[in-house]
Structure 1
Amino acid sequence: MKNSKRFATLAMLAMTVTLFLSGCMPQKMSSHPKVPTGFIYGSSYKYIAVPLQHIMERIADFFGGINGYGWAIIIITFVVRMILLPLMLNQSNKMTAQQEKTRRLKPQLDIVQAQQKVATTPEEKAELSQLMMKVYKENDSSMMPSLGCLTLLIQLPIFSGLYQAIQYSPEISSSHFFGIGLGQPNIIITIIATLFYVGQSALSLVGMPAEQKKQMQTTVLMSPAITFFISLFAPAGLALYFLAGGMIMIIQQMITTFIIMPRVKKRIDQEIKEKPIVTVVTKDMFTKKAAAKATETPVTPETTHTNKATMPSETGKRNSGKQRHKPQA
C-alpha cells in the first residue's frame, strides 16, 4: 500500500516537473511563439526538440500527404516504447515478485503496523521499525520499492522535446491528422487516449487478491487522470503521443498480467516450498509483553514518599553504632 502510494506520488511529481520544464501552458499554436532561449528551456529546445523536428519532417516527407506529421508522432512513440519495453517488462517482473513476497509477509507486517499505531515513545517506534526490517531481511525481501518510475523519467526528455517541437514549429503546429489539428487541444484524442490508460489500469488489477485490489483502485486511476489533464490542455500532437503510448501500454500490461504474474507466483510458491516463511513476529509476543508491563508496580510520588518514610535510615544506623562504640584508651 505504502509502496503504491509512493510510486503514484513520484509519477505525479515527475509529470509536474515535465510540465514545468516544457513550459506547458495553454496557448494558441497559430501565434508561433518565439523559441526559448533560457538555459533550461533553450537547451531542451536546441538539443531535443530541434532534432525531433527534423526526424518528424523526414518521416512526414516519406509518408506524404496532410497526415504525415501525425504518423511521424505515432512512429516516434512506437520506437521509444519498443526500446523501453524490455526495461519496463523487467521492472514489472521485479515489482510483481516484490508485491507477491510482501503479500506473503502481510500477516506479520500487519501485527507490527498495529503496534506502531499504539506506540507512544520514540524508543518503542524505533524498536518496531527494526522489527519490521527484520521481517523483510529474514525472508530475503526488501522494504524499498522497485524503481517503477524509471521508465517515466527516461521518457521525460522525449515528452518535453515533443511538446516544444510541436509548439515552436509552424509546419507541425499547423498540420492535421485525419482532420484534427495537431497544434490545438482536441477532446476526441484526449478521451481516446484516456480510455486506453483506463483499460491498462483495469488490466493491472486482474488476478490481484480482493484486499490488494481494493487498496490499488485509487492508485491505478492516477495514470488516466494525469493523461486526461495534460491532453485536455496540450496540443493534440502531444495527446496523440499519449494515445499511441496507451495502445502499447495495454499490450505490455497484458504480457505482465497473463504471462509474467502467473510465472512469478509459481516461482514464489516454489521458493517458499523450499524455504518456508520465517516467522519473526507473532501476536503472543506483544500480548506477553503487555501483560508483563501491566504487572510492574508503577513508581509514583506517593509510593516513593511512603518508601522513604518506612525505610530505616542507614545514616541513623551508622550514627547510633558510633555512639555505642567506646573508643579504647
Structure 2
Amino acid sequence: MPNQSSKFTFLKRSSLLLLIFSVLLLSGCSADHTPINSETTGFFNHFVVFPFSALIKYTASLFGGSYGVAIILVTFLVRLLLMPFMMKQYKNQQQMKKKMAILQPEMKKLQEKYKDKKKDPESQRLMQQETLQLYQKHGYNPLAMGCLPILIQTPILFGFYFAIQRTPEIAAHSFLWFDLGHPDTIMPIIAAAVYFLQAKVSQMDMPAEQQKQMAMVAYVMPIMMGAASFGTAAFLPLYWTIGGVFVILQTLLAKHLYKEKNLPAVPKTLEN
C-alpha cells in the first residue's frame, strides 16, 4: 500500500499529464478553424464556444476594438468564475494533509506489520481492510481532494480557447508589439517564464521530499508551453500567460487563507 504523500504526488502528476494533454490538443492542427457564429451547429459550439466569442467581441468594443485587452479581461473573468472550485479543492487538500499527518504514525505501524507478507493475498486483503478502518477512524478521504474542479474547468477553458481561435476579428488585430494572428518570438518566452514561476509558487511550503518528487513539473510545463507557443498565433501564449498569472495570484491567496494555522483543528480521532 503506497504511503499518503505518494497519493498527493500521484494526483499532482495526474493533473500535470492532463495539462500536457491539453497543451498538445490545443496547439494541434486538427481543431476546427472555421469562424464561429450563432448559426454554427453542435451543442458545444452553440452553448459554449459562440457565447465566449460574442463576449470577446463585446468586450473589445468597449475598449476601442482592442482584442488583446478583451482576451485579458475575459480570461480573468473566466478564471474568477472558476476560482471558488479551485479554492475549495485547495482547502480540502490542506485539511487532508493535516489528517494525514495525524494518521501517519499508525499507518507506518500497519505497513511494518505486513511488510513481510506482501506476497500473501490474504494478508494484503487484511491490510487494505485495516487501512480503510484507519481512514474512517481519522475521517481521512483521499478522494476528497478530487479532480472535480479540473473536470469542471476543462470544457470551459477549452471552449474559451476555441472561441479565441475561431473569432477571425482577433487575428486581424495587433496588441502591444505583436500581431495577435501571427507567431511571436517574445510571448512564448514570457509564457514559459510565467508557468515556471507558477510551478515554483505551487511547490512553496511543500516538504523537501515532495519538492523533489515534483521537481519535473517546474521544467516540463514551461518547456511544453514555450514549444507549443512558438508555432502558434500570439493570442495563445497571451492567453496562457494571463491565465498563468491569475493562477499564481490565486495560489498565493489560497496559501495565505488556508495555511495550517487558519484551518479548523482536526481531532486526533473521530472515535471515542
Q: TM-score range by the shorter chain?
A: 0.7 to 0.9
Q: Which residue of 2 aligns with 1:326?
A: none
Partner Cα distance (1:73, 1:230) in 2:
19
Shift of 1:118: 5.1
Kindly indicate whether residue 85 of structure 2 is the aligned counterpart of residue 87 of structure 1. Answer: yes
RMSD (Å) for aligned C-alpha atoms: 3.3
Q: Which residue of 1 aligns with 2:106?
A: 108
Q: Which residue of 1 aligns with 2:21?
A: 16
Q: Is the 8 A contact 1:26 1:234 kept in 2?
A: no
Kindly indicate whether residue 50 of structure 2 is the aligned counterpart of residue 45 of structure 1. Answer: no
**1:53-72 equivalent positions in 2, closer than 5 A:** 53-64=53-64, 68-72=66-70
Q: Which residue of 2 aligns with 1:281?
A: none
Q: Is the 8 A contact 2:180 2:235 kept in 1?
A: yes
Matched positions, count: 261
- Taking structure 1 as the reference length, the TM-score comes to 0.67
Structure 1 runs, 4 residues or longer, greater than 6 Å off: none
Q: Is the 8 A contact 2:35 2:167 kept in 1?
A: no
Report the CA distance shift for 1:34/1:76 in structure 2 as closer, same or farther (over 3 A). closer
Report the CA distance shift for 1:19/1:186 in structure 2 as closer, same or farther (over 3 A). same
Encode CA deviations 1:51-100: one digit per residue, 9 max, x unaligned: 222222222122115xx111111111111111222222222111111122
1:245 to 237, 243, 246: 243
Shift of 1:223: 4.9
Shift of 1:221: 5.3
Q: Which residue of 1 aligns with 2:127?
A: 128
Answer 1 or 2: which has greater helix percent.
1
Partner Cα distance (1:214, 1:47) in 2:
43
Shift of 1:109: 2.6
Shift of 1:234: 4.0
2:159 to 158, 161, 165: 161
Kindly indicate whether residue 259 of structure 2 is the aligned counterpart of residue 254 of structure 1. Answer: no
Q: Which runs of 5 or more residues in structure 2 are unaligned? A: 1-5
Encode CA deviations 1:208-241: one digit per residue, 9 max, x unaligned: 3333333343456565455445434443212222
Indicate the SS of the match to 1:208: coil
Shift of 1:112: 3.8
Q: Which runs of 5 or more residues in structure 1 are unaligned? A: 279-329
Q: Which residue of 2 aligns with 1:139?
A: 138
Q: Is the 8 A contact 1:81 1:248 kept in 2?
A: yes
Q: Is the 8 A contact 2:182 2:234 kept in 1?
A: yes
Q: Which residue of 2 aligns with 1:318?
A: none
Partner Cα distance (1:136, 1:171) in 2:
55
Shift of 1:6: 2.9
**Aligned partner of 1:78: which letter?**
F
Q: Is the 8 A contact 1:18 1:156 kept in 2?
A: no
**Aligned partner of 2:193: which letter?**
L
Indicate the SS of the match to 2:186: helix
Indicate the SS of the match to 2:258: helix
Indicate the SS of the match to 2:106: helix
Q: Which has the larger radius of gyration?
A: 1
**Aligned partner of 1:62: which letter?**
L
Indicate the SS of the match to 1:217: coil
Partner Cα distance (2:58, 2:261) in 1:
43
Report the CA distance shift for 1:100/1:219 in structure 2 as closer, same or farther (over 3 A). farther
**Aligned partner of 1:139: which letter?**
H
Partner Cα distance (2:51, 2:91) in 1:
34
- Taking structure 2 as the reference length, the TM-score comes to 0.79
**Aligned partner of 1:91: which letter?**
Q
Report the CA distance shift for 1:60/1:262 in structure 2 as closer, same or farther (over 3 A). same
